[in-house]
Amino acid sequence: MIDWLITTDLDGTLLNHHTYDVSGIAEIIERLQSQHIPVILNSSKTLAELSAWRHQLNLSSPVIAENGGVVAHHATTCYGALLTDFLPKLHHWRDQQEEASFVGFSDWSVAEVAKATGLSVEEARLAKTRWVTEPIQWLGTEALLKQFQTFIASLGLQCVAGGRFYHLMGHHSKSTALQHLLADPHSGLPTATYKVLALGDGENDRAMLMAADVAVVMPKPDGSYLKLATRPGYEVIYSPLAAPNGWIQAVIQRIFQEAI
């Protein structure tokens, strides 16, 4: 019997970008739990957000927050640079520019985050509780973006494209965080040897998808897909359905080996 582990993005993968509809997901997760298949939420969302979703979905597995920058199981560990250390440098760079460049979650009020993301006010409040990442909306030209990326790199940071925002952060990823978790004997996971099914849709999911045994790529809002290179023994599935239906279909067909 295969020991499966599922690691999944949320927005646009498990959750619909517009409706955040979870209908049908609870039943599938209950089946996974009954078969002791861990479902690890692995997202750019904050730990506070993921803790709320873990409770709502009745999950007991560890969670990976802020694009691999925060891992929570028996304890909480941060990887990479702290937001409080690098955010002032980003704002200083922005203040030196003659044209508009970017606006981030730290600039917005809770109400403004809610408007930009479609989250409720309470969800937006949780989305602002960040430790190691700053999601930004780019307002400048492509030329200025290249200058900004060079500046970011000089600080030892990276600028990663997500589903709707760029994420400014240290050199951590959803993939490396999962590797840390699997190597931790105190993770609470029953075994360290799994066949990994990863599901995602954005550029920030690429490393996680590429490191899996089976990758499920969800369609973006415009219908396009993140393209992954193939290799022997690695399976890539491009889901024809948007979240959450594509997530449900992939799990039923690949994990439970059932037609749908």
Last residue of a domain, which of 169, 186, 215?
169
Burial classification of residue 251, based on how many CB atoms lie within 10 Å of its CB (0-12 exposed, 13-18 middle, 19 or more buried): buried
User: Please, are residues 229 and 210 in contact by the beta-carbon 8 Å criterion?
Assistant: yes
Average pLDDT over residues 164-190: 91
* 259 in any annotated domain: no
Note the pLDDT tens digit of each residue in 4-26. 999 999 999 999 878 887 878 99
* 250 in any annotated domain: yes
Note the pLDDT tens digit of each residue in 105-126. 999 999 999 999 989 999 999 9
Write down the pTM of the prediction: 0.93
Categorise residue 73: left if φ over 0, alpha if ψ from -120 to 50, beta otherwise. Answer: alpha
Residue 105: domain span? 83-169
The whole-number pLDDT of residue 80 equals 85
Note the pLDDT tens digit of each residue in 127-159. 999 999 999 999 999 999 999 999 999 999 999
* 260 in any annotated domain: no
Instruction: Output the domain CATH number for residue 235.
Output: 3.40.50.1000
What the block records as the tokens of 190 is 């029953």
Nearest 10 degrees: Cα torsion 84, 85, 91, 97: -170
What the block records as the tokens of 147 is 């200058």
Domain co-membership, 34 together with 11: yes
Domain co-membership, 161 together with 91: yes
Note the pLDDT tens digit of each residue in 14-67. 998 788 878 789 999 999 999 999 999 999 999 999 999 999 999 999 999 999
CA distance linking residue 26 with residue 162, whole number of Å: 26
- The string of DSSP letters for 125-171 reads HHHT--SSEEEEEE-S-HHHHHHHHHHHHHTT-EEEE-SSSEEEE-S
